[in-house]
Amino acid sequence: MGRLSDTSTPQNMMAVVSKPCRDSQKLLDKPNLFTVYGEAIQDPSNVGAIVRLAAAFGVDAVWLSPESADPYNPKAVRASAGTWFGVPIFTDVDLATLIGTGIQVYAADSSRATTTLLGSFTTRPPRLALAFGSEGRGLSRELLHAAVQRYTIRTQQDIESLNVASAAAIAMYHFRSLPVQ
């Protein structure tokens, strides 16, 4: 086990499984869709945590930009705690395609410039993608420009930003509890 595992203290179990094959178009055809979009999320542990959070909060799918860490990286799989079997994950659909299907993008933006406080939202659109960016750079200007809403999570003023998985957890929880417009 020690030679086969990539961890220093393996859990004495191992499995070989195929990557799930999902139909993105089938999801994109749904009239109500609650999704997450990760742009250039570099840490596989954060990718896995976001997948696990998506499962916990009933998110329909996770979309990742090609610059994001591989969601099937061993660290991502461990951080997802096996939930990637149940949450569709896509790395082959770009943001323009999502927007072209009528999905509204709400972008997490810690800059607090032209943003709405997360707690101010009382409804959500029927087709919503919450966008989160790279741990170091945040979201690209292009994505921020494409978003119909930018929101921020209130923190103490001396805190620059939250870890991307923490921000995702707070936002998914908040928006999942809101009624659809």
Per-position pLDDT tens, the chain of length 181:
778 777 788 777 777 777 778 889 999 999 999 999 999 999 999 999 999 999 999 999 999 999 999 998 889 988 898 787 889 999 988 899 999 999 999 999 987 677 899 999 999 999 999 999 987 888 999 999 999 999 998 888 777 778 999 999 999 999 999 999 9
Six token digits for residue 112: 């607090």
Closest CA to 180 of 126, 104, 106, 122: 126
The distance of Cα 138 from the centroid of its chain, to the nearest Å, equals: 13
Identify the burial level of 50 via C-beta atoms within 10 angstroms of its C-beta, where 0-12 means exposed, 13-18 middle and 19 or more buried.
buried
Residues in contact with 126: Cβ distance below 8 Å, sequence separation at least 6, in sequence order: 31, 32, 33, 180, 181
Ramachandran sector of residue 66 (left: φ over 0; alpha: ψ -120 to 50; beta: rest):
alpha
DSSP 90-153: ESS--HHHHHHTTPEEEEE-TT-TT-EEGGG---B-SEEEEEE-BTTTBS-HHHHHH-SEEEE-
Provide the pLDDT for residue 15.
77
pTM of the model: 0.91
- Pairing state between β 116-117 and 149-152: parallel
Provide the pLDDT for residue 87.
93
Provide the pLDDT for residue 27.
92
Provide the pLDDT for residue 112.
65
Provide the pLDDT for residue 149.
96
